[in-house]
Amino acid sequence: MKAADILSLSDLRTKQVHVPRWGMDVTIRELTLEEGVQLSRLYGRVSKEGDSVTLHAEDVAKVVAWGVVDESGERVFSDDDVPALARKNRDALMLLFREITALAADAEDAEGN
């Protein structure tokens, strides 16, 4: 076994999500370790009032940009696309955000068991 054997593996789970606002199915993938750490930092910036949480638009868009992939598993959106992505429909972005973060949570739950 060599490092290249492991580094070349495609080990991130993917899932198809139907986005009604866009009238299409979108492929998402679970976050990498690096992206998961950055997500944890984003949650540190979340505003909390009582039981409600306020997410920053560009933070939601970052997670969507990280998690939406094409048929070959490559990111569809670059980091440069985040400001424009943040101006897209709220319902579509929040659906994708929830699905991407759920994949991350499922991975953490599986590791804990």
Say whether pLDDT at 24 is over 80.
yes
Q: Please tell me which residue, 105 or 83, carries the higher pLDDT value.
A: 83
Note whether 80 and 6 are within 8 A (CB): no
Cβ neighbours around 28 below 10 Å, total: 24
Token pair in block for residue 60: 């939601």
pTM to 2 decimal places: 0.81
State how far the Cα of 97 lies from the Cα of 39, in Å rounded to an integer: 11
When pLDDT is cut at 50, 70 and 90, the band that residue 42 belongs to is: confident
Q: Please tell me which residue, 113 or 36, carries the higher pLDDT value.
A: 36
Q: If you count them, how many residues does the chain have? A: 113
SS3 label, residue 11: coil
**Residue 5 burial (10 A CB sphere; 0-12, 13-18, 19+):** exposed
Question: Quick one: 11-105 is in which CATH superfamily?
Answer: Phage tail assembly chaperone gp13-like (3.30.2220.20)
Mean pLDDT estimate for the chain: 87
Q: For residue range 45-67, what is the model confidence (pLDDT) as tens digits?
A: 655 566 555 678 999 999 999 99
